[in-house]
Chain A
């Protein structure tokens, strides 16, 4: 029996447009298009360049790197500059410190690297000399810096004072033509048009861009080191294990998959790391409540987060959003943490911890000791 209802051929012919859209041409007869092509298109399509003409002016971002990379706040400042830039403006980035990261996804067009200005060093006169030199050459419309305590907030204020430029600090909201900051301890919101120098607080900008930058690294001959009134006397080593979790740079964190807490503590000591835990591990009584990381625990900003036996529930991942390098040890390769982690080791936590301890045990001995 055939039904009188009109039936559609589910394998109607179609073709794929350059934008990756599947289009059905009514009335056309032919073979079905290749779905494979359709799927592959989206993964590889590179974002278009933002800058398509020779730039006539610049927006400059100045920020310190830490071990070759920018932190989230500095990345937001670069993305903000890319969003502010008109079609004829290039985004220039002055990198204080070494650089290994790719900045094109953040919209950087030209990049100047000053490797002698690592963020831990105190060298305000040299940094000011380099910055004013670049500003003199580019004459940028706006200068953006992250308002942080690793040197960019300090340099931005020095620049504003030296150039006598209009400046806005602690910017909490940014638009194409206006900004806002808090006055009176947060009771008042003050708005104004964009000044020359902007110091941006964290989380002002979404770094997801629809375009990419040219990312050309330009040669930059560093200015003469000026005679300086300042002397850097050193940064004392600190006992990282005693730091609060929020301040720690390296965190070893335990979840339900960790049964051997003393070994975990030993691993943390070997790396000079602070100890954190997932909620389940805390609820089990293995760790104190103040070690819990996640939505109902602490939000951490460590550079390295070693997640041992943690499945990576969303509530936990919320707490480690700002962590730069996440390494997971888990028996389950499909645990959600593997999607967040930069490196996932699939194995039993206890065994890997033992091996890590074994591999790091020799580090306090000199080579001669080991040979003996």
Chain B
């Protein structure tokens, strides 16, 4: 069934975080990526930047992974991943990591550093003669079909219809390979300061420079504009007025 029996796939696997207990677990998006990868090929390698002592990594084996490469964390996760990613036809990632910053930047940085095309929001993919065809998820239930040439990076959408299955017996059969540390330690200074997320975010607003009088006026005034009101004419004409409005704003195309 496979066009390329020896399709080499790398799956980037981050650590997730159980939202209730806070315990580490496989990143849900990356499990979807792993499941899709296993359907496409038998040559699948997982890559993780972090520490190999993390027991949650073993769960990736229970979900079907066989090879897991762990790279000790250095100052730049994306650069470390990119360094190890030569020779793969397809690199699958998740959309957002649940355990860390969750910025969704890693797949793009990896693609840029390796000079590969990247397609995000992928629901479904198929391989055909050196290309990968992808169905993307867009808002409002829309779908889009796109194609890129291999090798490529594809980020899987959280709603991809894959069903990863957990089998405890597989946990013991995976091969975890620890890559020796390159020496550089994770950066200790960061631009970020963290705190528990307790308060609701505050909206960015124009500073209030108005006089008390002007403030009162704007509080009293209803900013509801109210549009056109059509009360005369026959029902047929009024129906046409609705259609005219819809056409004028390109909301219907007939």
What is the interface of chain A, defined by CB distance below 8 A to chain B? 19, 21, 42, 67-68, 80, 83, 120, 122, 148-150, 153-154, 157-158, 160-162, 166-170, 172-175, 180-193, 195, 203-206, 208-210, 229-236, 238, 240, 243-244, 247-250, 271, 303-304, 306, 325-327, 329, 333, 338-348, 351-352, 354-356, 358-360, 363
Contact = CB atoms under 8 A, between A and B. Distances in A.
A368 B222 CA distance: 50
Given A167-B105, A339-B226, A358 B142 contact: no
12 contacts: A21-B213, A122-B136, A122-B146, A161-B111, A173-B202, A184-B98, A187-B197, A189-B196, A206-B205, A230-B117, A230-B148, A340-B224
B22 to A, nearest CB: 7
Q: Closest 10 interchain pairs by CB?
A: A355-B239, A161-B112, A342-B227, A346-B231, A173-B201, A233-B145, A339-B224, A169-B103, A189-B197, A229-B117
Contacts of B179: none
Interface string B235-246: 110111111011
B165 interface: no
B17 interface: yes
Given A157-B105, A173-B202, A347-B235, A162 B112 contact: yes
B141 A243 contact: yes
A355 B98 CA distance: 52
A203 B192 contact: no
B228 A344 contact: yes
Contact of B105 (A169, A182, A339): A169
A172 B148 contact: no
Interface string B131-151: 001001111111111111100
B235 A192 contact: no
B192 A355 contact: no
Interface in B94-151: 98-105, 108-109, 111-113, 117-121, 133, 136-149
Given A188-B197, A189-B199, A234-B144, 11 more contacts: A19-B211, A160-B105, A161-B112, A166-B191, A183-B194, A185-B98, A191-B192, A191-B193, A231-B146, A238-B141, A351-B235
Given A189-B195, A231-B148, A271-B252, A161 B203 contact: no
Interface residues of B, number: 84
A355 B238 contact: yes
A305 to B, nearest CB: 11
B228 A358 contact: no
B251 A183 contact: no
A170 B103 contact: yes
B219 interface: no
A184 B102 contact: yes
Interface string B19-44: 10010000000000000000000000
Contacts of A229: 117, 148-149, 152
A204 B206 contact: no
Contacts of B143: 235-236, 238
Given A339-B222, A352-B235, A184 B17 contact: yes
Nearest to A244: B141
B108 A158 contact: yes
B163 interface: no
Given A344-B230, A359-B236, A327 B148 contact: no
Residue of B100, B105, B197 with most chain A CB atoms under a 10 A cut-off: B197
Contacts of B138: 120, 149-150, 235
Given A174-B204, A233-B133, A351-B235, A343 B251 contact: no
Interface string B181-209: 00000000001111111110111111001
A184 B100 contact: yes
Contacts of A249: 140
Contact of B201 (A149, A180, A193, A231): A180
Nearest to A195: B191
Given A149-B121, A161-B109, A235-B145, A206 B204 contact: yes
Interface centre among A42, A149, A168, A231 (most CB of B within 10 A): A149
B211 to A, nearest CB: 7
A181 B103 contact: yes
B145 A247 contact: no
A211 to B, nearest CB: 8
A282 to B, nearest CB: 23
B206 A356 contact: no
A235 to B, nearest CB: 5
A348 to B, nearest CB: 8
B217 interface: yes
A218 to B, nearest CB: 24
User: Which of B98, B137, B229, B241 has the most chain A CB atoms closer than 10 A to its own CB?
Assistant: B229
A135 B202 CA distance: 30
Nearest to A230: B148
Contacts of B231: 333, 346-347
B137 A190 contact: no
A210 B242 contact: no
B251 A344 contact: no
Nearest to B249: A325
B202 A343 contact: no
Which of B149, B194, B199 has the largest count of A CB atoms less than 10 A from its CB?
Answer: B194
Contacts of B101: 181, 183, 190
A210 B208 CA distance: 9
Residue in B108, B117, B205 whose Cβ sees the most chain A Cβ within 10 Å: B108
B206 A122 contact: no
